[in-house]
Structures are given as structure tokens and as C-alpha cells.
Amino acid sequence: MYAFIINLIRILQDQQPILIIMQFILIAYDGTDPGAPELRMSVRPEHLDKIAGLKKSGEFICGGAILDNDGKMIGSMILYEFPDRAALDHRLKDEPYITKKVWKKLEIQPFRLAKIE
């Protein structure tokens, strides 16, 4: 509500409204069934294409695979930047690792990236 009031005041003063950007961390784990690694690898090119588009739009900050002790990919961590959770959820509707059921356990939380000068 506070951001809405500040933006309204800026508009009334003929100033540009401030776009509030939020960061979100996604932590997702793949299935543990015997076919899970093969499923991940078969969907991976499509997933990386999606991530490339999000990087170009500025919505992907960083991310990568979560590894087990043997160096095998077992999940993902992604840091996103969106105006709100609804915008992120909308983008995730066509995330290949979700639609093709690579990720079995998914957690998304608001996040604040430390600004270190």
C-alpha cells in the first residue's frame, strides 16, 4: 500500500512512478526415481532456452544446478527479479522443468540480494 501511495503522489506531482522490483529465490528438487536424470537431461535444452529469454528481459539474475555429493544434478536454484509474485507465477506457467515434471519439490521465497559495494 505504501508503494501505491508514493507512486500516486509522484504521478500527481508529474513525476515518473517508481517500479517496485522484488527478488525471489526458487529452490527445486528433481524426482528420485531411476528415470529422473534422463528426464532432466532431455528437457534441459528447452529449460535453458526459457532461462536465456528471462536473462535477456532482466528477470533472471543467476542460477544453476544443485548437485549431490557425486556431482550429479538433482535440482535447481534460480534467483529471479519481478514486480511481484503473481508476475513470477505467470512466467513459471510454461517453465519446462515444471510442465514436464522434472521438478518434484519446489519452494519459492522472497529474497533480497545483498548490495555490496
% the chain with pLDDT above 90: 78
Tell me the whole-structure pTM to 2 decimals.
Answer: 0.81
Over residues 57-61, mean pLDDT: 95
Nearest Cα neighbor of 16 from 4, 7, 24 is: 7
Grouping H, G, I as helix, E, B as strand and the rest as coil, residue 43 is helix
| Residue ranges of domains in the chain | 21-111
What's the count of helices (H) and strands (E) in the chain, helices before strands?
4, 4
Is pLDDT of 17 > 90? no
Q: Where are the alpha helices (DSSP H) in 57-105?
A: 85-92, 96-99
Exposed/middle/buried for residue 5 (C-beta within 10 Å: 0-12, 13-18, 19+): exposed
CATH number of 21-111: 3.30.70.1060
How far is it, in rounded angstroms, from Cα 53 to Cα 49? 6
> The C-alpha cell of 112 is what?
533480497
Cell 517500479 appears where?
19
Over residues 40-53, mean pLDDT: 98
